[in-house]
Amino acid sequence: MAKTYDIVVVGGGPGGYVAAIKGAQLGAKVALVEKEVVGGICLNHGCIPTKTFLKSAKVYKTLQHANDYGVTNSGTVGFDWDKILSRKNGVVKQLTNGVAFLLKKNGVDVYNGFGEVKSASEVVVNGETLQTKNVIIATGATAVVPPIPGVKEAYEKGIVVTSRELLNVKDYPKSIVIVGGGVIGVEFATVFNSFGSKVTIIEMMDGILPTMDDDVRQAYAKTLKRDGIEILTKAEVKKVNDHKITYSFEGVETTIESDLILMAVGTRANSKGLEHLNLEMDRANIKTNEYLQTNVKGIYAIGDVNGKYMLAHVAEHEGVVAVEHILGKGHQKMNYDQIPSCIYGSPEIAAIGLTEKEAKARGIDYKVSKVPLAAIGKALADGEKEGFAKLIVDKKYLEVIGAHIYAYNATELISEYSVAMKAEATAYEMAHAVHPHPTLSELTLEAALGAIDKPIHV
């Protein structure tokens, strides 16, 4: 006899496992189907592993500059790639074990296998039929390997890699070409450049990080170039022949050689095999509304598979919104104008809301407050001077409509703006919330003061 559930979640990444746990906490009978390891790309092959690499790179860089802090280091600073890989694997295992424990503790039935969604009421896994009232599709996305001549062959030889393979490369590359100047591309550029690799970024657009605010993009590109990373923009990869990669720039073709070639040109939603459900699609992405409902009653789609934002925290929040909607426990909607995004370079980048270009395009009467990091005492004490905060408010009420931070630990600062935007706070509230001294959070305070009138310490 088929087992019956209130919700069956297909895919155990950040969106899927959070949805499953939340559903169980709200009293629903929930099953989670995952063909690999719980945690998905983010935990196993993405966000978390890259952060362990970046931490190792940061420690290495700090030790190289120990003298700047009055700390003498007589020995030569080196790194052990095997130990860096081993540390990464240990962190990942601890977290995936933790997620598995949480699912079990909350009474979620986990099925390890490929989930075939037959309809809104039936999912088949390992030949077993699960009857359900609702299905949440959380199948994620896969890195694209573009159909450029020679790429497929080089990929099969392990010369061309996606981020997934790069995270397990045993031999440290002396040189790496990164195709794509988006988030994944620049984070890996930071890691390998820190350890001494020759890094080249090839990007088709007119600059790196096309979705970020122009001030941030320009400052960051300048930093990467200063650190020795070569950035080729408006350049198109034409062919790959083993370690040789040929690109075209202004009609001229150039060939360069590299130990590894990282393809970081984007992802494609894992929606294959769902065609019979007659879901409304946008290319490979499943179309959803603000409650994550698809056009088929009882079927929801969250995370990368709906193509809205390729971010783990968006998938998690969508999972909660979908489950609450299914169970009639609250009427929260997704507001995609209030999504924080983070880039873990050196310095970090964090942003939320509109860029200045977007505010202009929407015809908003806005005001910009920009405060340099060097104005903040704690930053100087930490030996960090590079960066700024840029706050965009509407002129009438000084309500926060966008914030862009380029600074060390920027990713920890952005949540204050996230709360401010959710609460419809203005620069007045932010300026009158007492910020402790000396802290990096004073950057937020000074930006708010600048939006009202003038910052104190600039």
User: Binding site annotation covers 221?
Assistant: no
Could you count the other beta carbons within 10 Å of the beta carbon of residue 271?
A: 23
Q: Is 184 part of any known ligand binding site?
A: yes
Residue 196 annotated as part of some ligand binding site: no
Q: According to the annotation, is 113 in a ligand binding site?
A: no
How far apart CA 47 and CA 86 sit, in angstroms, is 17
244 in helix, strand or coil? Answer: strand
> DSSP class of residue 6?
E
Q: Is 158 annotated as a binding residue?
A: no
Helical segments of 354-396, H only: 356-361, 377-381
Q: Which residue has the tokens 């609250």?
A: 330
Was 12 annotated as part of a binding site? Answer: no
Q: Is 310 annotated as a binding residue?
A: yes
Q: What are phi and psi of 115, to 5 degrees?
A: -90, 120
Q: Binding site annotation covers 34? A: no
- Dihedral-angle region of residue 150 (phi above 0 means left; psi in -120 to 50 means alpha; beta otherwise): left
Judge whether 435 is annotated as a binding position. no
3-state secondary structure of 261: strand
Radius of gyration of the chain (CA): 23
Q: Cβ neighbours of residue 290 under 8 Å, at least 6 residues apart?
A: 321, 333, 334, 335
Is 203 marked as binding a ligand?
yes
Is 401 flagged in the annotation as binding? no
- Catalytic positions are 437
CA atoms within 13 A on the CB side of 139: 21
266 is in an annotated binding site: yes
Pairing mode, strands 175-179 and 198-203: parallel
264 is in an annotated binding site: no
Residue ranges for the known binding site for FAD are 51, 115, 304, 310-313
Known binding residues for NAD(+)? 180-187, 203, 266
Residue ranges for the known binding site are 51, 115, 180-187, 203, 266, 304, 310-313
